[in-house]
Amino acid sequence: MVSILRVFEKLLLIQVRWLLSGENGRLCAGFVNSSWFRVRGQLLAMFSVPFGIGQCICGITSLLRIVPFLLVNPPGKKIQLLRRAAPPNIGPGDLPGFGIMKIERVEVFGVAIPLRGERTIAYETRSVQRSVVVRITSDEGITGLGNVDPVAGYSSESADEIVSTIREEFAPKLVGRDPANMNLLLARLASGSTGFLDSRAAVEMACVDLVSRSRNISVSEYLGGAVKDSLLFNAWIGISSPEQAASEAAMWKGRGFRSAKIKLGGGVKADYDRIKAVREAVGSDFYLRADANAGYDVRTAIELARSIAVFDLQLLEQPVSAHDIEGMARVRREGGGIPIMADESLLDHASLIRIIRADAADLIKVKVMKQGGVLYTKQIMETAKAAGLRCVLGHGFALGVNMSAEMMLAGTCDCVIDGLESVGPLNISDDIITRPLDISGGSAAVPTGAGFGVTLDMEKIARYRFM
């Protein structure tokens, strides 16, 4: 009797595959397999003697469920439901084509969004932020978003180069691959090319977002869970006159910010005057950071550090060239006791180890864009924590996807100090997500929702797109 039942079962599946062709035929066969094995045991228990009747009822039940399943759900949803419905004893071999989620499409958008007036740093004066947004779609119809916001003179790739790299080199390596297998995916991207950390970051972020959405969890949960519910943000003050810098600092303090970064450049005297004016404007109960953006040689950096030590700065960021780690260590030893933070000097684990060995910094500055993605950044942060270094996280010109990624990442590690520097909305006039993040009061809750918790605004993409 058992052998007869098995033959009956196989004939039923063959019949279904024959009745329906193409995609629905494959989906139908998989769905019958899944439904059959799920309920067969219960039905056979009910019909302990007339096994044939039990099997027939099970087959009819499965067939009745197929019709609405095929009619109601779009193709991607059908595949997603099949994967989730299949019991443990059903594997990829039993559901051909449905065992592993695959990347189906990679889209790249270059956008140029006006800033809130001109912004001056050591590298340039700029009025527009040129950024790159990546959207990866799986065969289930789930999308993941990535976003990087390069800055000329700081980033190793321009926005145009990132768009071209992802479209021409990375996309062909991604289509058909499992976005959840991040190790294999990143190894494929690294194969045959070095560098391209910004481009890799955009792709990696999109895959992390996609996989998290497919599991209906936030990226915070994907990374192990948040240890903070809310975050404080650090205000941003560009290279300007002492009077303007002081006015901006007072404004930020009035809005609720508890710290601010002052960009340096123009000489020791000009930097001293700017910091002095800001300190006098905000008082002693407000944290100040200074960022030289690798703009000074060692001797001048030591002179600067000693002169501004009187203003009780929280840190001095990247006072010397990115490659001069020994010089940065000397500034740390001879600069009057101001904590030194490495930014441009830090790219990967190898550079972090050099900084640690040289005893060149008290803190490190990490960005998801600069470090090559969420996962790499998290690894570098944990290594720094083990070495006793604290972290500052964020990018002053980040759009909403990048910013949400950095906020979620910051919430997962207690080595990140207060004053997150993901402050794009303070500098950029618009965003490419449907609900822009609000940090106008100096604080915000860690984003929630599946993935990065943001939705792409395609009208904004169309408005600001340049390639």
Q: What is the pLDDT of residues 195-237, one digit of tens each?
A: 899 999 999 999 999 999 999 999 999 999 999 999 999 999 9
Decide: residue 138, CB within 10 A, 0-12 exposed, 13-18 middle, 19+ buried: buried
Look at residue 458 and tell me whether its pLDDT is greater than 80: yes
348-372 in b/e burial notation, b at 16+ Cβ within 10 A? eeebbeebbebebbbbbbbbbbbbb
* Tokens matching residue 373: 């993605």
State the alpha helices, DSSP H only, in 256-346.
Answer: 268-282, 298-308, 325-334
pLDDT tens-digit series, residues 15-32: 444 444 444 444 444 444
Mean pLDDT across 264-270: 94
Between CA 223 and CA 379 the distance in angstroms is 11
Q: Please count the other Cβ atoms lying within 10 Å of the Cβ belonging to residue 286.
A: 19
> Cα dihedral angle (349, 355, 357, 360), rounded to 10 degrees?
-160
Written as one letter, the residue type at 6 is R
Which residue in 215, 233, 206, 197 sits closest to 411, CA to CA? 233
Between CA 134 and CA 55 the distance in angstroms is 49
CA separation, residue 108 to residues 100, 190, 198, 457, 467 (Å): 24, 19, 13, 14, 9
Between CA 211 and CA 80 the distance in angstroms is 12
Look at residue 49 and tell me whether its pLDDT is greater than 50: no
Between CA 331 and CA 307 the distance in angstroms is 13
Between CA 131 and CA 134 the distance in angstroms is 10
Between CA 275 and CA 325 the distance in angstroms is 25
Written as one letter, the residue type at 133 is V
127 touches 427 (CB < 8 A)? no
Which residue in 165, 251, 219, 234 sits closest to 373, CA to CA? 219
Mean pLDDT across 78-96: 50
Confidence of residue 194 (pLDDT cuts 50, 70, 90): confident
Look at residue 36 and tell me whether its pLDDT is greater than 50: no
The predicted structure's pLDDT at residue 121? 87
Mean pLDDT across 258-267: 96
Q: Name the phi and psi angles at 300, rounded to 5.
A: -65, -35
Domains and CATH numbers, the chain: 2-85 (no CATH), 103-219 (3.30.390.10), 230-448 (3.20.20.120)
Between CA 323 and CA 325 the distance in angstroms is 6
Mean pLDDT across 361-388: 97
Between CA 160 and CA 132 the distance in angstroms is 8
